[in-house]
Amino acid sequence: MARYEGVSNFVIRRLPRYYRFLGDLLKNGVDKISSQGLSQRMGLTASQIRQDFNCFGGFGQQGYGYNVQQLHSEIARILGLQAGRRTILLGAGNLGSTIATQMQFSEMGFSLVGIFDVSPALIGRRLNNLTIQHIDTLRDFCAAEKPEAAVLCIPRSSAQEMVPQLIALGIVGFWNFSHYDIALDYPDVAVENVHLGDSLMTLAYQIRERADEKDG
């Protein structure tokens, strides 16, 4: 498919939100929606929405409104949600097992095919229809199964050690829950970081700002 060069990161980050909102509209039986209608539901301006959509060629006629089903499918296609990219997860502890069992990987472009850990207590356990395997089997597994993406639910030092090996084994995208800054060392791979601590600290800032506003 066509690539979308020069689309800003901010626009890309809004796509999943559009996709979710449109999915809700579909569930509620809404067939058509104007950019005004979408803007009211999403807290964006209609002009912002039209600008965002123009990055991908527009979709649909102004005045007439967007076909919700068509727009939903187009955004799914742009996001690559049908790709089913084979994915492994490293680190089957508390966080890793939550991610493995709670995330709807297949609805988001991925297919979880292997889970790895080093802890003897976890190896052999079943998680989401997969058996947790020892990390020593990773090389053979990748040679046979050719996963493209890896979810890292491991400490930073382990991530730093594993990432170059994973790239050598063919991994091109990382969903990174560790604090190891992959993009700094490997700018060519796709990385999406989830830094829960950073998110919580940002909330601390927001609450403090509002509290100080009240006080002063």
Q: What is the binding site for a second copy (CB under 8 A)?
A: 1-4, 12-13, 15-17, 19-20, 41-43, 78-81, 83, 85, 94-95, 97-99, 101-105, 107-110, 148-149, 172-175, 179, 181, 183-184, 188, 190-192, 194-213, 216
Residue (28 or 94) nearer to a second copy, CB: 94
Closest distance between a second copy and the C-beta of residue 63, in Å? Answer: 26
Residue (21 or 123) nearer to a second copy, CB: 21
Residue (32 or 85) nearer to a second copy, CB: 85
Q: For 183, what's the count of Cα atoms within 13 Å in the CB-facing half-sphere?
A: 7
Backbone phi, psi, residue 144, to 5°: -85, -40
Contact 77, 1 (CB under 8 A): yes
Beta strands in the chain (DSSP E): 32-33, 66-67, 85-90, 110-117, 126-127, 130-134, 149-152, 173-176, 190-193
Closest distance between a second copy and the C-beta of residue 146, in Å? Answer: 14
Closest distance between a second copy and the C-beta of residue 97, in Å? Answer: 8
Residue where the block lists tokens 């089913």:
84
Residue (107 or 136) nearer to a second copy, CB: 107
Closest distance between a second copy and the C-beta of residue 136, in Å? Answer: 26
Q: How is 182-212 classified by DSSP, letter by letter? A: HHHH-TTSEEEE--HHHHHHHHHHHHHHHHH
